[in-house]
Amino acid sequence: MKRTVRNEVGEVTVREKGIVFARAFSGAEINMKEAKDYHSMVAYLSNNEPHVTVLDITGLKYISKESREFLSRNSDEWGKTVAVALIINSFTARMVANFFLTVNKPDYPIKAFTDTLLAQQWAKNEYFKFSMRVAS
């Protein structure tokens, strides 16, 4: 089931139902075009179904304020994003995570991690909890 799409600033992969893995390439700069491309790639790979995202932003160099707002607002309005685990390890990535956790706080759980495996475990657990709520 593994499917991957790429553009000039990153890639998005689905390895199993409900789990989206995304990664910004080293030195990536995100403006509105890239933010809209990212959202389209996630929508395509998730088949517009509810999902959690493990988002590795360790390579991120810059993301515009408009892009942060668009991604936060769009994910909330779209209603398919269940939770987001952000993987960070740099000052820039930490700043982006702090914006999402405070200023652009979405309606779904979002948590920052420095450990990729912990981020993946947390995201899978969030998807499992969501699945149990929907099933009952």
For residues 77 and 71, the answer to whether their CB atoms sit within 8 Å is: no
* Placement of tokens 């999402």 in the chain: 100
Band of the pLDDT at 135, cuts 50, 70, 90? confident
Give the per-residue pLDDT at 45: 92
Considering the chain, what is the average pLDDT of its residues? Answer: 87
* Strand pairing category for 110-113 and 81-87: parallel
CA dihedral 12, 15, 19, 25 (to 10 degrees): -20
Average pLDDT estimate for 6-32:
94
- How do 19-24 and 10-16 pair as beta strands? antiparallel
pLDDT score, position 31: 95
Q: Tell me, what amino acid is at 106?
A: P
Per-residue pLDDT tens over the stretch 61-105: 888 989 888 887 766 566 789 999 999 886 666 666 666 666 666
CA distance 116 to 49: 24
Pick 27 or 92 by higher pLDDT. 27
Determine the topology of domain 3-135 in CATH.
Transcription Regulator spoIIAA (3.30.750)
Model's pTM, two decimal places? 0.87
How does residue 42 score in pLDDT terms, banded at 50, 70 and 90?
A: very high
